[in-house]
């Protein structure tokens, strides 16, 4: 693949020195100068020779708010940042309207389940005329916490809001105009007694004291031959979105989740009684990087 006249700009969290990823070590050097205001970054990339690409690997709302300006200026965007896709519905509309008008591309595969091909699969289903009826998704939160794959503060996973943001992205891509991830039912797994904890560390130290409550729920389900999972569900036909505990038959792929697995089930008109299921590790730096790299390759192929 011959690549010509491509200019890539990266906005990342502030860090320096040596960063280790897997078995590889990389040395980064940073300027002592302050970062340009975002409006100037837009101008800088827009004036760059050739095909400009912004890679946003922050979780910044300020950067996400500038996406329409980047896209309107012809700058392509690749990002795992959910803020532009799960926040304000107006921002969502502005982002994709700007991309449509300018022809610039925006890819955010890794904003949902890291490297799993969730968004590209959903887009292909919709673009080829399939009718999305329901989407279910789940992850093994406790095991993922043990392995360090959750959000920086584990409460962001256990309160259900991270799942709610991902559902918002999936619902919107399916054609359901969800206005906000705060406007549908979300069942938190955080015991009320721990809601006042001032830090993630304090929360984790005390969490085991309340394990018995979840064990009771699991035991009741096992008597019925079922497993309990914390899931997100989107019912397109009834326009219902929710996050909460549900029981599944042991034969269900969601009940069989292990390790840091995620599973997404697409129930569609075309697939009928056998939903399309995507399952695998859905968190971790290497997998997120793979999703970002895959999106970068898509843009580069279109630039060659």
Query: Which positions are catalytic?
Result: 166
Query: How much of the chain is in helix, strand and coil states, percent to nearest 5?
Result: 40, 25, 35
CB 58 within 8 A of CB 12: yes
The angle at the Cα of 39, spanning 33 to 42, to the nearest 5 degrees, equals: 95
The angle at the Cα of 236, spanning 234 to 240, to the nearest 5 degrees, equals: 55
The arrangement of strands across the sheet holding 6-11 comes to 6-11, 51-56, 76-78, 106-107
User: Which tokens go with 6?
Assistant: 């491509």
User: Which tokens go with 162?
Assistant: 């991270």
CB 58 within 8 A of CB 15: no
Q: Element (H or E) spanning 96, and its range? A: helix 89-102
Number of neighbouring beta carbons within 10 Å of residue 266: 24
CA distance 1 to 71: 25
């Amino acid at each position: 693949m011959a690549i010509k006249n491509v200019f890539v700009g990266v906005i990342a969290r502030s860090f320096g020195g040596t960063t280790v990823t897997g078995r590889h070590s990389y040395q980064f050097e940073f300027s002592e100068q302050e970062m340009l205001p975002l409006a100037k970054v837009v101008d800088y990339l827009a004036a760059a020779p050739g095909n400009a690409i912004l890679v946003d690997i922050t979780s910044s709302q300020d950067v996400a708010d500038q996406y329409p300006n980047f896209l309107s200026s012809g700058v392509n965007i690749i990002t795992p940042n959910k803020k532009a896709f799960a926040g304000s519905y107006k921002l969502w509309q502005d982002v994709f309207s700007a991309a449509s008008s300018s022809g610039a591309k925006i890819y955010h595969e890794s904003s949902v389940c890291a490297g799993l091909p969730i968004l590209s699969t959903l887009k292909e289903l919709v673009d080829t005329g399939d009718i999305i009826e329901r989407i279910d998704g789940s992850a093994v939160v406790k095991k993922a916490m043990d392995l360090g794959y959750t959000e920086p503060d584990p409460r962001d996973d256990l309160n259900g809001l991270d799942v709610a943001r991902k559902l918002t992205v999936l619902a919107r891509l399916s054609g359901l105009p969800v206005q906000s991830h705060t406007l549908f039912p979300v069942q938190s797994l955080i015991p009320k007694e721990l809601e006042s904890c001032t830090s993630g560390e304090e929360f984790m130290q005390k969490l085991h004291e309340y394990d018995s409550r979840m064990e009771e729920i699991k035991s009741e389900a096992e008597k019925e031959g079922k497993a309990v999972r914390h899931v997100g569900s989107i019912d397109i036909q009834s326009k219902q979105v929710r996050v909460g505990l549900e029981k599944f038959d042991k034969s269900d792929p969601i009940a069989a989740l292990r390790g840091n697995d995620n599973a997404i089930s697409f129930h569609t008109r075309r697939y009928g009684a056998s939903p399309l299921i995507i399952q695998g590790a859905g968190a971790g730096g290497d997998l997120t990087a793979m999703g970002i790299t895959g999106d970068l390759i898509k843009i580069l192929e279109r630039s060659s």
